[in-house]
Structure 1
Amino acid sequence: MHLIKPNWPAPANVVAYSTTRHGGVSLGPFASLNLGLHVSDCTEHVLSNRALLADGLGLTRQPLWLEQVHSVDIVKYDASDETADCPPAIADGSWTDLAERPCIVMTADCLPVLLTDYHGSFVAAVHAGWRGLCDGILQRAIQTAPTKPERILAWLGPAIGPDAFQVGSEVRDQFTEQDTSFKQAFVADNQGKWLADLYLLARLILAKQGVEQVFGGEHCTYSESNDFFSYRRDGITGRMASLIYLTK
Structure 2
Amino acid sequence: MPMTEAKFIFPDWPAPACVHAASTTRRGGASTAPYDSFNLATHVGDTLQHVQQNRQQLREALQLPDEPAWLEQVHGVEVVEAGGSIPGVADASISTERGNVCAVMTADCLPVLMCDRQGRGVAAAHAGWRGLAGGVIEATAERLCRRLACDADALLVWLGPAIGPQAFEVGDEVRDAFMRIDTSAGQAFIAHRPGHWLADIYLLARQALQRQGIEAVYGGGRCTYSEAEDFFSFRRNPRTGRMASLIWLSE
TM range (shorter): over 0.9
1 CA distance for matches of 2:23 and 2:136?
Answer: 20
Partner of 1:179: 182
Q: What CA RMSD, in Å, does the superposition of the two structures yield over aligned residues?
A: 1.0
Please name the residue that 2:125 is paired with: 126
Aligned length: 242
Q: Which residue pairs with 2:3 in the alignment? A: none
Question: Structure 1 residue 103: deviation in Å?
Answer: 0.3
Answering whether residue 243 of structure 2 is matched by residue 240 of structure 1, we say yes
CA distance in 1, matches of 2:194, 2:238: 21
For 2:44, what is the secondary structure of its paired residue? Answer: coil
Instruction: Tell me if the contact between 2:106 and 2:126 (Cα under 8 Å) persists in the aligned partners.
Output: yes
- Structure-2 separation of matches of 1:8 and 1:16: 10
Instruction: Give CA-to-partner distance per residue, 1:31-78, whole Å, 9 cap, x none.
Output: 000001110000111111111100111122111000000110000123
Measure the CA separation in 2 of the matches of 1:102 and 1:246: 8
Please give the alpha-carbon distance, in whole angstroms, between the structure 2 residues aligned to 1:139 and 1:218.
Answer: 21
Unaligned runs of 5+ in 1: none
Decide whether the 8 Å contact of 2:75 with 2:131 is kept in 1.
yes
Structure 1 length as normaliser, TM-score?
0.96
Alignment deviations for residues 94-147 of structure 1 (CA, whole Å, 9 cap, x no partner): 000011111000000000000001101100000000000000001101110122
Given the alignment of the two structures, is residue 116 of structure 1 paired with residue 115 of structure 2, yes or no?
A: yes
Tell me, what secondary structure is at the counterpart of 2:193? coil
Out of 152, 157, 163, the residue aligned to residue 154 of structure 1 is 157
Identity %: 53
Matched, 1:18 2:26: no
**What TM-score do you get using the length of structure 2 for normalisation?**
0.94
1:207 to partner: Cα distance: 0.3
Give the 4+ runs in structure 1 shifted more than 6 A. none
Match of 1:28 among 33, 52, 56: 33
**Does 2:106 correspond to 1:107?**
yes
Q: 1:198-217 residue pairs with structure 2 within 5 A?
A: 198-217=201-220
Alignment partner of 1:95: what SS?
strand
Unaligned runs of 5+ in 2: 1-5
